[in-house]
Amino acid sequence: MRAPKRPIHTVWTWARRQPSKVQAFLAVVSGMAALVLLRFIVHDHDNLFVAAEAVHSIGISVLIYKLMKEKTCAGLSLKSQELTAMFLAVRLYCSVVMEYDIHTLLDLATLVTTLWVIYMIRFNLKSSYMEDKDNFAIYYVVVPCALLALFIHPSTSHHLLNRISWAFCVYLEAVSVLPQLRVMQNTKIVEPFTAHYVFALGVARFLSCAHWVLQVLDTRGHLLVALGYGLWPSMVLISEIVQTFILADFCYYYIKSVFGGQLVLRLPSGVV
């Protein structure tokens, strides 16, 4: 006698059989439903931002476990880790001089662990580093982010250098995962620990995006005014949304792989 299928599995199987346009529509609806749910469950939406940073730290912890257990950094992008360390260092500086709080401690912890991952890839596990696959030129993102920060940054009362630095780390964070996605695109096969790490980044990005969107809704747009005038408030939201959509495709295949019982994630051509 066949065991009855679980409702979630049934819904997932049905969704997988739908055309791509229907799947895209279902993804948007699911995202909006998740936002509505978070709005009622989480009363202090600042907790979402803290949760996003905590999930990012968990993702880094998964990487550390991979490096220590498997003694290999195959499939990891050193350039993505360096970009992450760069925006974390800048954000930590801004946090110290502008708003010392719990985010400062979380950023410090994440930066330290990220630097440790970079050290392991560069020195201890250098022989397993897939340098030929990690071929994303990071100046393609660092330079545009720096130029964008020069022209579009907060209009608060802080020193100009601090405001430009704040904008730079916001823009750089939005695209810091691109080298890692390039590595996965080149290899087409993603081993479990790397997949868990990137999925954690996707969850963190969604929580961070949800934090900003819900804050804007709750304040009826007044938060945008508090952030300053000009293009900067819109750029903050756009950066959060860009981060989320960059990782959305990968997260879809990750969840699909988990429900399919696959330990190794195989990406079809054109993904990420």
Average pLDDT over residues 223-229: 56
Burial 19-43 (b: 16+ CB within 10 A, else e): eeeeeeeeeeeebeeeeeebbeebe
Residues 170 and 240 sit within 8 Å (Cβ to Cβ) = no
Relative orientation angle of helices 139-151 and 78-98, to the nearest 10 degrees: 20
**pLDDT tens per residue, range 92-130:** 998 888 776 677 888 888 899 999 999 999 999 999 999
Comparing 139 with 57, the larger pLDDT belongs to 139
Q: What percent of the chain has pLDDT over 90?
A: 30
Under DSSP, is residue 227 helix (H, G, I), strand (E, B) or coil?
coil
pTM of the model: 0.79
Tell me, yes or no, whether 267 lies in a domain.
no
> How many angstroms separate the CA atoms of 52 and 48, rounded?
6
Tell me, yes or no, whether 178 lies in a domain.
yes
CA-to-CA separations, 97 to 10, 90, 102, 223, 228, in angstroms, rounded: 52, 11, 14, 22, 18
**pLDDT tens per residue, range 39-71:** 556 555 567 777 787 888 888 888 888 898 889
Tell me, yes or no, whether 236 lies in a domain.
yes
* pLDDT > 50? residue 82: yes
Tell me, yes or no, whether 166 lies in a domain.
yes
* pLDDT > 80? residue 34: no
**pLDDT tens per residue, range 195-212:** 888 888 888 888 887 777
Comparing 150 with 50, the larger pLDDT belongs to 150
CA-to-CA separations, 134 to 68, 82, 119, 139, 236, in angstroms, rounded: 21, 12, 16, 14, 28
**Of 45, 98, 92, 29, the residue nearest 208 (C-alpha):** 45
The reported pLDDT for the residue numbered 83 is 95
Domain count across the chain: 1
Tell me, yes or no, whether 1 lies in a domain.
no
All residues at 6 or more sequence positions from 87 whose CB lies less than 8 Å from its CB, including other chains = 168, 169, 172, 173, 176
Residues 59 and 204 sit within 8 Å (Cβ to Cβ) = yes
* pLDDT > 70? residue 190: yes
Average pLDDT over residues 16-37: 53
Comparing 71 with 22, the larger pLDDT belongs to 71
> How many angstroms separate the CA atoms of 215 and 171, rounded?
20
> How many angstroms separate the CA atoms of 240 and 213, rounded?
9
Tell me, yes or no, whether 47 lies in a domain.
yes
Q: How confident is the model at residue 161 (pLDDT cuts 50, 70, 90)?
A: very high
Beta strands 189-190 and 265-266 are antiparallel
Tell me, yes or no, whether 28 lies in a domain.
no
* pLDDT > 50? residue 170: yes
Under DSSP, is residue 53 helix (H, G, I), strand (E, B) or coil?
helix
Tell me, yes or no, whether 35 lies in a domain.
no
What is the residue range of 240's domain? 43-260
Other residues' Cβ atoms within 10 Å of the Cβ of residue 229: 10
The reported pLDDT for the residue numbered 2 is 46
> How many angstroms separate the CA atoms of 199 and 207, rounded?
12
> How many angstroms separate the CA atoms of 78 and 127, rounded?
13
